[in-house]
Amino acid sequence: MSDIESLKPDLLALKGRRVIAAMSGGVDSSVMAALLKDAGADVIGVFLNVWDYTRENIKRHGTCCALEDSYDARRVADQVGIPFYAMDMREQFRRDVIDPFVQDYESGRTPNPCERCNRFVKFGALLDVADQLQAEFVATGHYVKRLDDASGVHVFKGDDPKKDQSYFLATINRQQASRVLFPVGHLEKEAVRRLALHYKLLTAHKHESQDICFIPAGDRIAFLKREGAEAGFRAGDIVDREGNRLGTHQGIAHFTLGQRKGLGLPDGPWHVVALDGVTARVVVAHPEDALIRRVLVSDISWINEPADGAPLMAKVRYQMHPAACRWQRQGDTIELLFDQPQKPTAPGQVAAFYAGEELLGGGIVSQV
């Protein structure tokens, strides 16, 4: 077996079966589409137009789902030899991602727009598109793995720890997971680029952006002001946990939970531990007092639901290793109690639940 052949997943079971390839115009989804086509699947490329980039005064968007990325996705589809559709999802994206993003920053929450896009658009509306096109599956370029057995579908962390994206898929449900494929999840990024060169894809060397797709210039404050998030820009006080006034600020939207840079306060270091959208107060604490143990999680979704009391690992920030915790149900909410104190997270962030390498499900942090 050649070195390149060893990089390809076993997709022969998909021969002749219709699969929607969710193409973002980047190298990961390009290789995903090529692998499916190579395996003999009946592949249809779909690009989701989610935002009007003509309003952004920048020369190059450099982020997923921008106009130039639509062009790249279409050209890759031509290279691979699959039909291609660009679908207008701007109205749904506005309703399910943009509006909640703005509202969260006004109220003091710290949203995760990529999670909402995955849950409501990519694995929500796109599965509806799959039904319309009579496709069994949707495939993406996410770095996660799907391994099925007699008990059904199982989703695991991607093999590249630097690229693992399971955290962002924690709120999809079992039904969604059963219809989504991840052909590059077993690969490291460099191997994906090698496959892109093998298939002579025009995206093989394309730059990878870390920006939020609808804020391609990275200026969150300018975006929120333009979107009319007035409540997030009311001046207020910065106080410690005892209510002692340490300084002032020009709006809670300038801050995120856990933030420690740019506070400009004496006797530091300080971490932001609470944002109050009603009083416009920013609450800070010293690092040793900012650690958390207890987190409440709502909007729970399970891919594989554990038995009550079963061992559980959780991560409540993307840049966090899953940590052991005790957990219990409180109605529609789950309480996590970490065995060891953790760095702060924020209401609005994702809580992802794991059993070893397997992603079990997750929800949204509602209280810390």
Domain harbouring 281, CATH code: 2.30.30.280
Work out whether strand 144-146 and strand 236-240 pair parallel, antiparallel, or are unpaired. Answer: unpaired
Residue 329: C-alpha distances to residues 143, 309, 341 (Å): 30, 10, 21
Q: Are residues 64 and 107 in the same domain?
A: yes
| pLDDT number for residue 61 | 44
Among 64, 65, 114, 213, the active-site one is 213
Q: From CA 333, how far away is CA 44, in angstroms rounded?
A: 39
| pLDDT number for residue 2 | 67
> The tokens of 321 are what?
């290793």
| pLDDT number for residue 290 | 87
Q: Are residues 8 and 112 in the same domain?
A: yes
In 57-98, alpha helices (H): 67-80, 90-93
Q: Is 64 annotated in the active site?
A: no
Question: What is the span of the domain harbouring residue 50?
Answer: 3-141+183-198
- Give the relative orientation of helices 27-38 and 67-80 as an angle to the nearest 10 degrees: 20
Q: Are residues 109 and 127 in the same domain?
A: yes
Q: From CA 268, how far away is CA 203, in angstroms rounded?
A: 46
Q: Is 213 annotated in the active site?
A: yes
Q: Which of 214, 210, 264, 223 is closest to 105 using CA atoms?
A: 223
Total length of the chain: 368
pTM across the whole model? 0.88
| pLDDT number for residue 181 | 96
Among 64, 65, 117, 325, the active-site one is 117
Q: Are residues 193 and 261 in the same domain?
A: no
What is the DSSP secondary structure assignment for residue 149, as one 8-state letter? B
DSSP string for residues in 295-309:
EEEEEEEESSPPPTT
Asked if residue 225 belongs to a domain, the reply is: no
| pLDDT number for residue 55 | 53
Q: Are residues 303 and 281 in the same domain?
A: no
Domain harbouring 91, CATH code: 3.40.50.620
Q: Are residues 353 and 246 in the same domain?
A: no
Q: From CA 185, how far away is CA 163, in angstroms rounded?
A: 9
| pLDDT tens over the chain, length 368 residues | 468 988 898 899 999 999 999 999 999 999 999 999 999 999 999 999 887 655 555 444 445 555 688 889 999 999 999 999 999 889 999 999 999 999 998 888 888 898 898 888 888 888 998 999 999 999 999 999 999 999 999 999 999 988 999 999 999 999 999 999 999 999 999 999 999 999 999 999 988 766 677 886 778 888 898 888 888 999 999 999 999 999 999 999 999 888 888 898 988 899 998 898 889 999 999 988 888 999 999 999 999 999 988 999 999 999 899 999 999 998 899 999 999 999 888 889 999 999 999 999 999 999 88
Q: Are residues 18 and 68 in the same domain?
A: yes
Asked if residue 210 belongs to a domain, the reply is: no
Residue the block writes with tokens 């249809």: 44
* CA 146 to chain CA centroid, nearest Å: 17
Domain boundary among 271, 289, 307: 289
| pLDDT number for residue 208 | 76
| pLDDT number for residue 60 | 46
> The tokens of 68 are what?
């130039």
State how many domains the chain has: 3
Domain boundary among 257, 289, 321: 289
